């Protein structure tokens, strides 16, 4: 009989005042007792609606049963059989819209803490340092993967398991894509990403860093160097700006630049050379996870005040609930229903303030969300000595412009079907490069499906 308490066992967190001054992980994870108690809340539904909410089809009731029975390693094995990055997903998936959003317990109370339990199993596995990974028998076929973010790593790992000889090409000096340059240490410790990548290498995946596909090598070069299929998982790396006056002033950054300086280039650690400006009042424009990450980093870098500016309301914030809750607890201010119209100069080319206009929500737009409309005459200014623009990213044009026969949308996204097949035979694509900026787990789903399609394609050849 399941434990019928209506609420989740809360995950312990570090103190918000103390943590806003450091980069240590915020959510601390379940203890054995917490995990057993939370696992006991699962009804073990026969039809498992939660699984329909999981893009990679984790066998959720099965792994939770193993945790309930005190076998976290067995739980890990079940998760890992369909999800190659469990310690990552347990931390960054928007579970409320996925598995937990479908959980029956959520109808009258809180859903089972599936994400927290996944993280528990993955962390116990890491701590036990059990590694039974052995490279699969090689089948003699080569596949090249472009990009080492969530979609590329998942595609590579899935193919390596099937016996393919997989090489991943990464433009940066470190593998991991958005997991290392974008998501901050306090949300996803880089040690964990590194261990997940080491696990993929143990499966036989090779990773070549400093290789910019479209420049260092073209997709055609990958084929002529022996790859029989290519997967493009190059993400959506090109930052969007608003196109308002003052965006090139000193102190205006894309969230990509700000986060890369901190997360990949470790500007927060004194032993690293990366410079970053200290600012007193940082305004962050946008309401997604990237905006929350940038705002929380800004606080940790010592800003007195950090304000998120978002043109819709609290209900419409696209960020994960947990991130919004953490940001608020850490003292981030939210100026909702307003939009920047101009960034003001202090007279020396440096930002001094952001001019904004208040917004109200009108009729639903194409996305189904109510369209924000400016309220005439409601302009006001917000003092700021730095502005971070986190309004989204689009795919990088480097591959599109150097690969013939690859169809793309007007927004620069690669056109691919559900299985990842592009307009060019042998070239597959998935993740943000196809969808535009989305989530880690959707990119992983695309990588996994493309691996299956590549296998089918190469078997047919």
Binding site for other proteins (CB under 8 A): 171-173, 181, 209-212, 215-217, 237-239, 241, 247-248, 250, 253-254, 256-257, 260-261, 265-266, 271-275, 277, 349, 396-398
Query: Residue 71, Cβ neighbours under 10 Å: how many?
Result: 16
Residue appearing with tokens 């989204």: 392
- CA gap 430, 28 in Å, rounded: 32
> Which DSSP state fits 213?
B
Report the residue number, 120 or 253, with the smaller CB distance to other proteins: 253
Q: Of 69, 58, 86, which Cα lies nearest the Cα of 35?
A: 69
Q: Of 176, 187, 413, which Cα lies nearest the Cα of 295?
A: 187
**For residue 290, how far is the Cα from the chain centroid?**
9
Output the smallest distance, CB 230 to other proteins, in A: 17
Output the smallest distance, CB 254 to other proteins, in A: 4
Report the residue number, 279 or 338, with the smaller CB distance to other proteins: 279
Output the smallest distance, CB 41 to other proteins, in A: 42
Report the residue number, 76 or 169, with the smaller CB distance to other proteins: 169
What is the SS3 assignment for 161?
helix
Residue appearing with tokens 């989305």: 438
Output the smallest distance, CB 255 to other proteins, in A: 9
Report the residue number, 172 or 334, with the smaller CB distance to other proteins: 172
Report the residue number, 271 or 363, with the smaller CB distance to other proteins: 271
Output the smallest distance, CB 278 to other proteins, in A: 10
Output the smallest distance, CB 211 to other proteins, in A: 7
Residue appearing with tokens 């009989």: 1
> Which DSSP state fits 217?
B
**H helix and E strand count, the chain:** 18, 16
For 195-337, strand residue ranges (E) read: 206-208, 229-232, 238-239, 252-254, 281-285, 305-310, 333-336
Report the residue number, 15 or 273, with the smaller CB distance to other proteins: 273
User: Which long-range contacts (C-beta less than 8 Å, at least 24 apart) are formed by 217-225?
Assistant: 217/169, 218/402, 218/403, 219/146, 219/399, 219/402, 219/403, 219/406, 219/427, 220/403, 220/404, 222/144, 222/146, 222/169, 223/426, 225/144
Output the smallest distance, CB 404 to other proteins, in A: 16
Report the residue number, 109 or 349, with the smaller CB distance to other proteins: 349
Report the residue number, 51 or 255, with the smaller CB distance to other proteins: 255
Tokens of 409: 């949308």
Output the smallest distance, CB 423 to other proteins, in A: 23
């Amino acid at each position: 009989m399941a434990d019928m308490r209506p609420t989740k066992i809360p995950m312990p967190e570090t103190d918000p005042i103390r943590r806003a001054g450091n980069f240590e992980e915020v959510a601390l994870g379940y203890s054995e007792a917490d995990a057993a108690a939370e696992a006991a809340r699962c009804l073990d539904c026969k039809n498992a609606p939660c699984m329909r909410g999981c893009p990679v089809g984790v066998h959720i009731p099965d792994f939770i049963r193993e945790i309930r029975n005190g076998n976290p390693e067995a739980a890990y094995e079940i998760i890992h059989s369909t999800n190659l990055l469990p310690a990552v997903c347990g931390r960054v998936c928007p579970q409320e819209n996925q598995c937990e959003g479908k959980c029956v317990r959520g109808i009258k109370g809180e859903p089972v803490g599936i994400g927290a339990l996944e993280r528990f199993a993955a962390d116990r596995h890491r701590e036990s340092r059990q590694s039974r990974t052995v490279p699969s028998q090689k089948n003699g076929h080569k596949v090249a993967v472009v990009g080492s973010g969530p979609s590329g790593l998942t595609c590579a790992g899935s193919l390596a398991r099937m016996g393919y000889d997989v090489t991943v090409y990464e433009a940066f000096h470190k593998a991991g894509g958005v997991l290392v340059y974008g998501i901050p240490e306090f949300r996803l410790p880089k040690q964990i990403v590194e261990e997940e990548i080491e696990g993929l290498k143990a499966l036989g995946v090779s990773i070549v860093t400093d290789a910019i596909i479209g420049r260092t090598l073209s997709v055609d070069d990958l084929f002529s160097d022996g790859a029989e299929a290519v997967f493009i998982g190059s993400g959506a790396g090109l930052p969007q700006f608003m196109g308002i006056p003052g965006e090139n002033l000193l102190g205006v950054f894309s969230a990509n630049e700000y986060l890369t300086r901190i997360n990949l280039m470790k500007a927060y650690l004194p032993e690293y050379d990366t410079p970053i400006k200290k600012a007193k009042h940082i305004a962050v424009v946008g309401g997604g996870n990237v905006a929350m990450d940038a705002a929380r980093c800004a606080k940790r870098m010592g800003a007195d005040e950090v304000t998120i500016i978002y043109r819709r309301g609290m209900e419409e914030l696209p960020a994960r609930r947990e991130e919004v809750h953490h940001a608020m607890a850490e003292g981030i201010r939210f100026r909702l229903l307003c939009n920047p119209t101009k960034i003001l100069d202090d007279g020396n080319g440096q930002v001094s303030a952001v001019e904004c206009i208040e917004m109200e929500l009108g009729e639903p737009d194409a996305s189904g969300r109510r369209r924000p409309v400016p309220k005439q005459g409601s302009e006001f200014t917000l003092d700021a000595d730095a502005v971070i623009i986190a309004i989204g990213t689009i795919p990088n044009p480097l591959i599109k412009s150097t690969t013939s026969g690859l169809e793309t949308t007007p927004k620069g996204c690669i056109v691919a079907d559900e299985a990842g097949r592009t307009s060019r035979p042998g070239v597959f694509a998935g993740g943000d490069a196809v969808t535009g900026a989305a989530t880690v787990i959707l990119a992983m789903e695309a990588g996994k499906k493309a691996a299956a399609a590549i296998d089918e394609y190469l078997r047919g050849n």
